[in-house]
Structure 1
Amino acid sequence: MFERFTEKARTVVVLAQQDARQRGDSAIDTGHVLRALFAVPDNLAIMVLEGFSVRQADVEADLAARPETAPDGSAADADALAALGIDLDEVRRRVEEAFGPGALDRPRSPKRRWIGGHIPFAKEAKKALELSLREALRMRHNYIGTEHMLLGMVHGEGIAHDVLVARGVQLDVARVIVEELLRGRRAG
């Protein structure tokens, strides 16, 4: 499938991997891919997002505000634990009572590092990339560009899907914008 990616789409994948590595994440999720789209200048995906008034700073803030997720996809924040009846403050109190004040403040062990190889794609990121291929085929394109990657994320699931939909990005409208932009490039 990657042989069909345009140079800019390949750059997005490389930048998503770099983003995941810099953040110490063990997998590339759709949030990494969405951030990477903004890092590649003059690409159609960004033009589509501009059509929805979606700006990089807003997306970055939305991604930063999302709770981190565990490998199984479950939220790992205090609210999620509270919903299960687990009081994080009470857990902290008991741990400090048993092990001393500040026992939980010690540096965490580093996240798993992927040395010398590629960081794998998370399930929802793989699905978004598969959907980008389907979007390209649907439009009868023999390549996968950044615009198809964006459509795949909107069509799919995961953090990027959630952020984009919350920002008002609609799949059918985004497809129309992509077609119009491509028509304009062919005419010009």
Structure 2
Amino acid sequence: MTMFARFTPEARRTTIRAGLLALDEGRTTLDEDLFLLALAESWPVAGFTVTPEAVRTEIGERRAAEGRAGDRELLATLGIDLDEIRRRIPVRRDDPLAWRLRRSRVRPLNVVLVGPVGDLPLTGRARKVVEVAMNRRGSGSRVTDEDLLRGLLADGSNASVSILRHLGVDLLPLARSLNFLRRSA
């Protein structure tokens, strides 16, 4: 059984979309910033609007400021067109049934998104997003998009929280709307 067995169809699509965004950028890992971008495309919280374009711009600016060229650009300097390679792949990349989210039995901290176009290891922060989402409501419930958003908010030092702050999202009301804050005694 894969980890996706506990995901709602929407949360599964969001996770797969984040993986496809990583592949489209030519990344070799799935990081939490792309979870935010995938969630922004189907924002699950009423009253808080963040556009995918704004998130995409912010991610690009941060990567450029860090001096990290995208893998797509590096491949282009070698004469490799990533879009052409994607067009030649005979399977549907976005078919949810073709994707699995697996935890390594040998290395339980390694979580990998496995799909028809490749395997994407989740970074530590992306793994934390998934694990917080899975453990938020207990073992019997299914992971939703809102749970993934809670997972993003759980680590105040990750890039997604910084992006949300920079885009003007007030995180305290957002966390309250998700019932993510505990009431004091």
Identify the TM-score tier after normalising by the shorter chain.
0.5 to 0.7
Which amino acid in structure 1 is aligned with residue 67 of structure 2? A
CA RMSD of aligned residues (A): 3.4
| CA deviation map 1:108-138 (0-9, x unaligned) | 576xx9984321111111111112223334x
Structure 2: stretches of 5+ with no match in the other structure: 69-75, 86-114, 180-185
Indicate the residue corresponding to 2:148 in structure 1: 149
Distance 1:132 1:171, change over 3 A: farther
Percent identity for Structure 1 against Structure 2: 24
Indicate the residue corresponding to 1:24 in structure 2: 26
Q: Which of 24, 41, 46 is the equivalent residue of 1:39?
A: 41
Which amino acid in structure 1 is aligned with residue 41 of structure 2? A
Point out the structure with the larger strand share: 2
Point out the structure with the larger helix share: 1
Structure 1: stretches of 5+ with no match in the other structure: 41-45, 70-74, 78-105, 180-188
Indicate the residue corresponding to 2:136 in structure 1: 135
Q: Is 2:52 the partner of 1:56?
A: yes
| CA deviation map 1:121-158 (0-9, x unaligned) | 11111111112223334xx9811100110111121243
Higher relative contact order (CA 8 A, sep 6+): 1
SS at match of 2:121: coil
1:33 offset after TM fit, Å? Answer: 1.3
Q: How does 1:32-181 map to 2 (within 5 A)?
A: 32-40=34-42, 46-48=43-45, 51-67=47-63, 75-76=66-67, 107-108=77-78, 116-137=117-138, 142-156=141-155, 157-169=157-169, 172-179=172-179
Query: Alignment length, in residue pairs?
Result: 139
Q: TM-score, normalised by structure 2?
A: 0.60
Matched residues in 2 for 1:168 and 1:123: separation?
A: 26
Q: TM-score, normalised by structure 1?
A: 0.59
SS at match of 2:28: coil
Distance 1:171 1:38, change over 3 A: closer
Q: Which protein shows a greater Rg?
A: 1
Indicate the residue corresponding to 1:9 in structure 2: 11
